[in-house]
A and B are shown apart, each in its own frame.
Chain A
Amino acid sequence: MIEISNLTKRFDDVTAVDDVTAVIKEQSVFGLIGTNGSGKSTMMRMISGILKPDGGKVRVDEREVFENPEAKLDIFYISDDHFFFSNDTPEDLVRFYSSCYPNYDKERFFRLIDGFDLPRRRKTRTFSKGMKKQLLVALGLCAGTKYMLCDETFDGLDPLMRQAVKSLFANDIEQRGLTPIIASHNLRELEDICDHVGLLHKGGILFSRDLDDMKLGIHKVQIVLKEGHGEEDFEGLDIALSSKHGSIYTLTVRGNEEDILGKLRCLETVFFEIIPLSLEEIFISETEVKGYDIKKLLL
Chain B
Amino acid sequence: MTSKNSFFKLAKEDFRHRLYLPAMSCLAFFFMYPVGVLLLISSTKVNFFFNSLSALSYDEQLNRAILENFKMMYQEAQIDSFLLILMGLVAALSGFAYLMKANRSDLYHGLPFKRETLYLVSVANGFLMTYVPAFVLSLVGGLVASVRISSMVPMTIMLTETLYNIPKFLICYASAVLVVMLTGQMMTAIVGTVAVFSYFPALATLVYLIHTVYFHTYYGDVFEKVYTPYIMISPVAVAFSIKEKPLMYIAICLVVGAAFLALALYLYKIRPLEAAGKALVFEKTKFPIKLMIVVPCAMAGALFMKTILASRLWGFFGFACAFIVVHCIMEIVYNSDFRSLFSHMGQFAICFAVGLALFLTVSFDLVGYDKYMPREDEIESVGLICYDLEGNLYNLNQKYELEHNDIYDEYYVNDTSVVDNTEIMDSMTITDKATVLDIASKGIDYTLEKAKEEQSILSEMLEDPTEDYELTTSVDLSYRLKNGRYVRRSYSMLWEDVKKSMELIHDNPEFKKGTYPLLTMDEQELSGVNYEDMLGKHHVNADAATLTQLMRTYKEEFSALTFEKRRHETPVLCLQFKSSDFQKMADIMKEQEDYYDYLNDIYYYPVYPSFTRTLEILRQNGVVDCGLITENDVDHIMLTYNRYDEETEDYSTEEYDVTDKAQIREILDAAVYPMTYLNSARPSFYGIDCEMNFTADFVQKANSGSEKAYGSSSKTDCMINLSGDAVPRFVMDQFHLTRSDVEDNVGITY
Using CB atoms and an 8 Å cutoff, list the residues of chain A in contact with chain B.
11, 45, 48-52, 67, 69-70, 72-73, 75-77, 79, 81-83, 85, 92, 95-96, 99-102
Contacts and interface: CB of A to CB of B under 8 A. Distances in A.
What are the nearest 4 A-B pairs in CB distance?
A99-B9, A72-B112, A77-B110, A83-B103
B613 interface: no
B109 A100 contact: no
A100 B103 contact: no
A49, A50, A67, A72: which has the most chain B beta carbons within 10 Å? A50
7 contacts: A11-B274, A51-B272, A52-B272, A69-B113, A83-B103, A99-B10, A100-B1
B273 interface: yes
Contacts of A52: 272
Interface in B270-318: 272-274
Contacts of B102: 81
Nearest to B11: A99
B103 A79 contact: yes
A83 B9 CA distance: 20
A210 to B, nearest CB: 28
B13 interface: yes
Given A77-B106, A82-B103, A83-B101, A96 B274 contact: no
Given A79-B106, A83-B107, A100-B113, A73 B274 contact: no
B2 interface: yes
Nearest to A79: B106
Interface string B509-551: 0000000000000000000000000000000000000000000
B405 interface: no
Interface size class of B (residues with CB under 8 A): 20 to 34
B111 interface: yes
B661 interface: no
Interface string B178-205: 0000000000000000000000000000
Contacts of B107: 79, 82-83
Given A50-B273, A82-B103, A95 B110 contact: no
A99 B16 CA distance: 13
A197 B12 CA distance: 41
Given A75-B110, A82-B103, A101-B112, A69 B10 contact: no
Question: Chain B: interface secondary structure?
Answer: helix
Contacts of B10: 99-100
A40 B17 CA distance: 31
B430 to A, nearest CB: 65
A95 B13 contact: yes
A73 B2 CA distance: 11
Given A69-B1, A81-B103, A83-B104, A50 B110 contact: yes
A81 B10 CA distance: 23
Contact of A99 (B6, B101, B273): B6
Nearest to B109: A50
A83 B112 contact: no
B404 interface: no
Nearest to A54: B272
Interface string B105-123: 1110111111101000000
B106 A67 contact: no
Given A51-B273, A67-B115, A100-B6, 9 more contacts: A50-B110, A51-B272, A70-B112, A72-B113, A79-B106, A79-B110, A96-B13, A101-B112, A102-B6
A100 B112 contact: yes
A67 B105 CA distance: 14
Contact of A73 (B1, B103, B105, B117): B1
B654 to A, nearest CB: 88
Contacts of A79: 103, 106-107, 110
Most interface-central of A69, A73, A81 (chain B CB within 10 A): A69
Contacts of A72: 110-113
A136 to B, nearest CB: 11
Nearest to A80: B103
Interface in B254-278: 269, 272-274
Given A69-B113, A72-B112, A77-B110, A102 B1 contact: yes
Contacts of B106: 45, 50, 77, 79, 83
A51 B269 CA distance: 12
B470 to A, nearest CB: 66
B13 A99 contact: yes
A280 B386 CA distance: 96
Contacts of B16: 92
A49 B112 CA distance: 9
Residue from the set B9, B103, B104, B110 with the largest chain A CB neighbour count within 10 Å: B110
Interface string B704-743: 0000000000000000000000000000000000000000
A92 B15 CA distance: 13
Interface in B69-125: 101-107, 109-115, 117
B8 to A, nearest CB: 9
